[in-house]
DNA sequence: CAGTAATTGCACTTCCATTGCATTGATTTT
DNA sequence: AAAATCAATGCAATGGAAGTGCAATTACTG
């Protein structure tokens, strides 16, 4: 089990107080968050800093970006098994129409999608919308 | 074969010159278009009118909205077989990373996606990105 | 400890989506 | 056919999110 500091260093990211805080915030949340979510959690920090921090994390494959169809970009920590950089490792995302939360269904890989002749598939984004387990009462 | 006028009337939409033009524009395009695309095609018309016209079309299931991950909402005419209002009729969209165009692959239905217990799937958005037939040179 | 390089904060800008309100245009009623 | 009514259009403005330039600050290096 490596510390957050070690993780950042292993990715060649300088360890700063801000980055540690943002990482911890993302780690605590089980759901994908927007920039505004982070902004609200750290009122003292500037939006730009958060924006760039998340962008850095993204470039280093620490978080991945999620487009869940709400029109607002969301971010979530990559898990151990989440090799976002690999096209083959594409899990799906679930957006709850009730609580408006988006979660990664890391276990659920996206099935192979067939495309017509002449089309070359490089990447797939799959968002399932509906009611999440918390809201469905099960 | 019904005329555009008849189609609009059958959906309880008043027939206006603007609406006919916009419908024809969408029908000519084989690809999904943004509001700005429409705006550029009708320089004399106001953006708001186009926005509301498309919105009206959308409410009446004449066009459907596409979120292809570019961050800009796109629209495409629903085809004969496209029953957007039905959850079961979900075709997928293909976004070309080269020419930046998005097309509906109406023939290609989205496979059944399994979600964990407690989750209820109501809707699925699937966008495949890659190189389209025109750009792949086939 | 000084110098260098990266990080952070502030101020803007841009772009798209959306709304309020006045005006124009079309439809219905008398 | 004119008046009254309702919808459609155009203009102006707003709001939200993404993104950039630059100066100030902070962290690393020798």
* Proximity of residue B44 CB to strand C below 7 A: no
Q: Which nucleotide is nearest to A35 (CA to C1')?
A: D17
User: What does DSSP assign to residue B131?
Assistant: E
Q: How confident is the model at residue B91 (pLDDT cuts 50, 70, 90)?
A: confident
Domain count, chain A: 1
What residues contact A8, with CB distance under 8 A and at least 6 apart? A14, A15, A19, A20, A23, A62
Q: Which residues of B touch A129 (CB under 8 A)?
A: 121-125
Cβ within 8 Å of residue A88, ≥6 positions away = none
pLDDT band at B52 (very low <50, low <70, confident <90, very high): very high
Answer whether residue A137 shows pLDDT above 90: no
pLDDT of residue B138: 64
Find the CATH number of the domain harbouring B100: 1.10.10.10
Break chain A down into helix, strand, coil percent, rounded to 5.
30, 25, 45
The answer to whether B88 contacts chain A (CB < 8 Å) is no
Q: Kindly calculate the radius of gyration of chain A based on its CA atoms and give it in whole angstroms.
A: 16
pLDDT-derived band at A106 (thresholds 50, 70, 90) equals: confident
Question: A51-72: buried (b, 16+ CB within 10 Å) or exposed (e) per residue?
Answer: eebbebbeeeebbbebbbbeee
pLDDT average, residue stretch B111-117? 89
Mutate to test the interface with B, among A120, A129, A130 (most CBs of B within 10 A): A120
Residue A132 counted as an annotated binding residue: yes
Torsion angle of C-alpha atoms B64, A115, A93, B122, degrees rounded to 10: 50
Asked if A122 lies within 8 A of B97 by C-beta distance, the reply is yes
Nearest to B119 among A94, A114, A115 (CB): A94
Task: State the Cα–Cα distance between residues B37 and A128, nearest whole angstrom.
Answer: 28
Backbone φ and ψ of B96, nearest 5°: -85, 125
pLDDT greater than 80 at residue B35 = yes
pLDDT band for B108, please (50, 70, 90 cuts).
Answer: confident
- Cα–Cα distance, A39 to A122 (Å, whole number): 33
Count Cβ atoms below 10 Å from residue A110 Cβ, excluding itself.
Answer: 18
Q: Read off the pLDDT of each residue in A76-83 and give the average, rounded to a whole number.
A: 80
Calpha distance B4→A122 (Å, rounded): 38
Of A118, A129, A138, the CB nearest to B136: A118
Higher pLDDT, A89 or B130: B130
Grade residue B33 by pLDDT with cuts at 50, 70 and 90: very high
The band of A108, judged by pLDDT with boundaries at 50, 70 and 90, is: confident
Q: Residue B108 CA to nucleotide D1 C1', Å?
A: 56
Give me the domain span that covers residue B61. Answer: 4-136
User: Is the CB of A15 less than 7 A from some atom of nucleic acid strand D?
Assistant: yes
Over chain A, what is the mean pLDDT?
90
- The pLDDT of residue B87: 55
CB contact under 8 A, A113 and B126: yes
| A97 and A61 Cβ atoms separated by less than 8 Å | no
pLDDT 10s digits, B122-138: 888 999 999 999 999 86
């Amino acid at each position: 089990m490596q510390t957050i500091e070690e993780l950042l260093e292993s990715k060649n990211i300088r360890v700063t107080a801000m980055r540690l805080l943002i990482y911890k915030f993302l780690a605590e949340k089980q759901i994908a968050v927007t920039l505004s979510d982070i902004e609200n959690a750290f009122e003292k920090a500037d939006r730009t800093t958060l924006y760039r921090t998340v962008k850095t994390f993204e470039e280093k494959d620490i978080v991945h970006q999620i487009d869940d169809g709400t029109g607002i970009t969301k971010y979530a920590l990559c898990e151990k098994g989440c090799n976002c950089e690999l096209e083959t490792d594409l899990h799906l995302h679930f957006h709850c129409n009730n609580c408006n939360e988006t979660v990664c269904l890391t276990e659920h890989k996206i099935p192979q999608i067939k495309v017509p002749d002449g089309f070359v598939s490089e990447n797939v984004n799959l968002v399932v919308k509906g009611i999440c387990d918390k809201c469905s009462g099960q």
